[in-house]
Structure formats: C-alpha cells, structure tokens
C-alpha cells in the first residue's frame, strides 16, 4: 500500500531518514486500496520507513520521562529499561497499536506536542504535531488503529483528539477529530485504556479527592462520560492514590499501576466488577502505561496463592499452621524465615494471600506489613512501620486492620 502511494507523489514537500511528506494525486476511479479515501483528489500523506517492531506480548510498557520500562504485570518485576529518542520533553500518553506492533506516544513539556512512533530499542519516528497550547497527557490506541489523546478539563470542558494510525489507511498520521466532550469526567483523566472487542469506548479508573474509586467510560462517538461502577473507598493502602498507568487485556480486566506506591491492581470492567491487588511494580509517579491488549498470554500472579476453603491458619513465631475447622486438627504448613517473627495475620479473599506483620531486627523495629504466599515466600508490602502489630485481619473489602494490645492499667 505505501509503495503504491509513494508512486503517486507529485511534489515532495520534505523528507528525512524516517518519513516523507508529499502531495499525492488520487486516481479518478478510486480503485483498489484508494477506495478507502474520500473523493478529495489531492491530499497530504506521511510515508514512514520501517522500524523494528515490538512483540505483542503479555507484559506492559511503562513510560517515565524519556525511558520505557518493560513490566511483568503478574510479578511486578521490570526486565528492561530503554531510552526513547524524543527531541524534547518527556514521553507520555502511550498506546500499543495492534495494527502495526508499534507504541505511539506524545512528548509533554513542549508546545506543540508531537506524536512519535516507537519501535524496538527505543527507536522513534516523528508522526505529526498536535494542536499548540494543549497539554495531552492520557492516551491509548484501540484495536482499529485509532489513537485517542486527552487533555485536562478546563473552563470549556473536557478536550480530546482522535488520530488515525491505521497503516492501511490513507489518513494515517492525521487528526481525524478533535472536540470537547458533552460532559466531563468526575476527576482529571490520568490515563485511559481501550479494551479488545470494545471499539468506541475508553475506560479510566477515577479516584475522587476523598478516595472514592470509580470505573468510568468515555463514548468516543457520543463524546459522553458515564460511570460503570463504584469500587469503594480507598481501595489501596496509599493516601491520595493515582492510577497513572493503565494496561488493556483480553481477560475481562484492565490493569493499573498506582503511581505513588507501584502496586499493580486489576479491575473488572464487567459485572461483578471485582478488583484485587496483583503485584508490586516500579513506583510510577507521573508515568503512563500501555500493553498489547489482544495478547492471549495470561497475566497471573507469580506467587502461588492459598486455597479459599474450610481451613484456617495459625502463626506462631515463624511457623504457619493449618487448622481444620471441621475437626480441629492442627498441622504445620510452612516454615518462614526463622530469623524473624510474624504476627497479626489475616486472609485476604480478594487475592488469596495471607497478610501480617514481620518484626524488625532491633526490639522488633522497624517492622513491616508483609504478604505471604502458599510456598512460604514473603513479600514486604509496607516497609518500615513504627509498630510491631499484634492483632490483625483483612475484611471483605481487602482492608487490613491492625492494632496493638495495650495492657490495662487499673
């Protein structure tokens, strides 16, 4: 297709190593691939030279400043960090384009912002400039190759733009639509995400100033926001959480990095709209995320979980016992790190792990709140707390409640 279009160039406007801008004459009969275009006879097209593509894999991409981090969403581990070659500003509003296996993003901190195509090893190509004076900072590409970028709401409302990034389209690299929404989101869109099989809608996890967390949907045709569900108050263990990086998936969930602490959560976007903590990844303040949403690779927690059944669990020093609630039998189940003590455990039915307190090396301090897997692996969830809690449990909403047992003084 691109070779055919390149042959139609009448006058070359400009070029560099990555792209060519030229005027093109379209055949009068609009035959073949050119039928996709409107009846206009002269237009402008960007013909990009190929970059090495990215894999449509199960991991996510996290953009921070001018670096791109590959994150295993199941375990939270980051396997590589790549410097991205953008002229100026910081990389943001990234989205994975399943139509050509490239990432696309914009550079923030400059005006006008530009859209870049990103290939393997951080190689980039300039695609187009966005309208000057607008700070786009949320973005994703849907399954049809449309790139949607959003700006913070202002006195005129919520502003967004739609860019065609379908490599088979004669409108590639052009803003097809830009407008204010009919209404605005309940709080600023930190990031939004397209999901497989749901064209025309984008999802965003919105956190109100008081901590109430909602899933909201933007209809790109009607230009309207609607609330899909209310997840609850303070679903994370972070004050003023911000889900700054969202990742699409084909399993009925969207995945989200909470930027202040790095926790990776998953949120169902269909009934019953459950949510749960998946892993702990890199801290991502002001970052943005993307993933190849059509990837069939499952995102699974790397650590084995406990079965949610008829057994209870008892911790003594560093040994975890299993207790049969039917006959009272107590059997040793796991031996944890023998140099530490554990207490205040509770079973979290939202992720099937046990949470508790692990003491510190000096007079039990500094202590840590930990997550315990069924193979005995212990992950620190909240480090360096000033109390070694003695009482604890996790409620049905995934909130961990702890307390000190203070002796009564008469």
How do residues 282-334 score in pLDDT, each as one tens digit? Answer: 888 889 999 999 888 878 766 788 998 889 999 999 999 999 999 999 999 99
- Asked whether residue 195 is domain-assigned, the answer is yes
- Asked whether residue 53 is domain-assigned, the answer is no
Residue written as tokens 């002796």?
Answer: 407
Structural domain range at position 26: 2-48
pLDDT recorded at residue 38: 37
If asked whether residues 176 and 316 sit together in one domain, one would say no
CA 153, 89, 281, 192 torsion: positive or negative?
positive
If asked whether residues 248 and 336 sit together in one domain, one would say no
What is the rounded distance in angstroms from the CA atom of residue 71 to the CA atom of residue 53? 18
pLDDT recorded at residue 385: 81
pLDDT recorded at residue 375: 87
Contact 85, 98 (CB under 8 A): no
- Number of domains comprising the chain: 3
Mark the ranges of the chain whose per-residue pLDDT is less than 50. 1-43
If asked whether residues 283 and 326 sit together in one domain, one would say no
pLDDT recorded at residue 20: 45
pLDDT recorded at residue 263: 87
Residue 384, SS3? strand
If asked whether residues 108 and 184 sit together in one domain, one would say yes
Q: What is the pLDDT of residues 183-230, one digit of tens each?
A: 988 787 899 999 988 889 999 999 887 778 899 999 999 999 999 999
Contact 95, 194 (CB under 8 A): yes
pLDDT recorded at residue 141: 97
- Asked whether residue 240 is domain-assigned, the answer is yes
If asked whether residues 100 and 229 sit together in one domain, one would say yes
pLDDT recorded at residue 34: 33
If asked whether residues 174 and 275 sit together in one domain, one would say yes
pLDDT recorded at residue 193: 97
Helices and strands in the chain: count of H runs, count of E runs: 1, 31
pLDDT recorded at residue 35: 33
Q: For the chain, what is the largest distance between any 2 Cα atoms, rounded to a whole number of angstroms? A: 98
């Amino acid at each position: 297709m691109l070779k055919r279009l390149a042959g139609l160039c009448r006058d070359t406007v400009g070029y560099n190593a990555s792209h060519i801008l030229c005027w093109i004459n379209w055949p009068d009969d609009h035959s073949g691939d050119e039928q996709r275009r409107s009846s206009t006879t002269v237009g402008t097209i960007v013909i990009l030279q190929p970059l090495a593509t990215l894999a449509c894999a199960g991991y996510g991409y996290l953009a921070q400043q001018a670096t791109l981090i590959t994150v295993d969403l199941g375990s939270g581990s980051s396997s590589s960090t790549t410097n991205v070659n953008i002229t100026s500003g910081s990389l943001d509003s990234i989205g994975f384009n399943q139509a050509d296996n490239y990432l696309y993003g914009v550079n923030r901190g400059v005006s006008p912002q530009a859209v870049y195509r990103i290939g393997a090893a951080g190689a980039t190509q300039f695609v187009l400039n966005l309208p000057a004076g607008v700070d786009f900072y949320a973005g994703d590409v849907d399954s049809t190759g449309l790139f949607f970028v959003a700006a913070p709401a202002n006195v005129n409302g919520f502003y967004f733009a739609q860019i065609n990034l379908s490599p088979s389209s004669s409108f590639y690299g052009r803003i097809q639509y830009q407008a204010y929404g009919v209404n605005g989101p309940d709080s600023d869109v930190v990031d939004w995400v397209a999901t497989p099989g749901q064209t025309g809608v984008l999802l965003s996890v919105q956190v109100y100033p008081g901590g109430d967390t909602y899933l909201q949907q933007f209809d790109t045709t009607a230009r309207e926001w609607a609330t899909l569900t209310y997840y609850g108050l303070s679903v994370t263990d972070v004050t003023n959480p911000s889900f700054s990086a969202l990742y699409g998936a084909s399993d009925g969930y969207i995945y989200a990095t909470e930027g202040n602490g790095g926790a990776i959560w998953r949120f169902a976007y269909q009934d019953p709209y459950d949510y749960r903590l998946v892993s702990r990844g890199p801290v991502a303040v002001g970052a943005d995320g993307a993933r190849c949403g059509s990837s069939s690779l499952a995102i699974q927690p790397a650590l084995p979980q406990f079965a949610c059944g008829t057994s209870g669990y008892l911790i003594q020093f560093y040994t975890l016992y299993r207790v049969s609630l039917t006959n009272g039998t107590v059997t040793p189940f796991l031996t944890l790190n023998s140099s530490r003590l554990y207490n205040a455990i509770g079973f979290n039915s939202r992720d099937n792990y046990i949470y508790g307190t692990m003491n510190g090396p000096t007079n039990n301090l500094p202590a840590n709140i930990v997550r315990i897997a069924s193979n005995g692996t212990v992950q620190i969830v909240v480090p360096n707390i000033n109390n070694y809690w003695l009482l604890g449990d996790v409620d049905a909403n995934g909130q961990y409640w702890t307390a000190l047992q203070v002796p009564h003084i008469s």
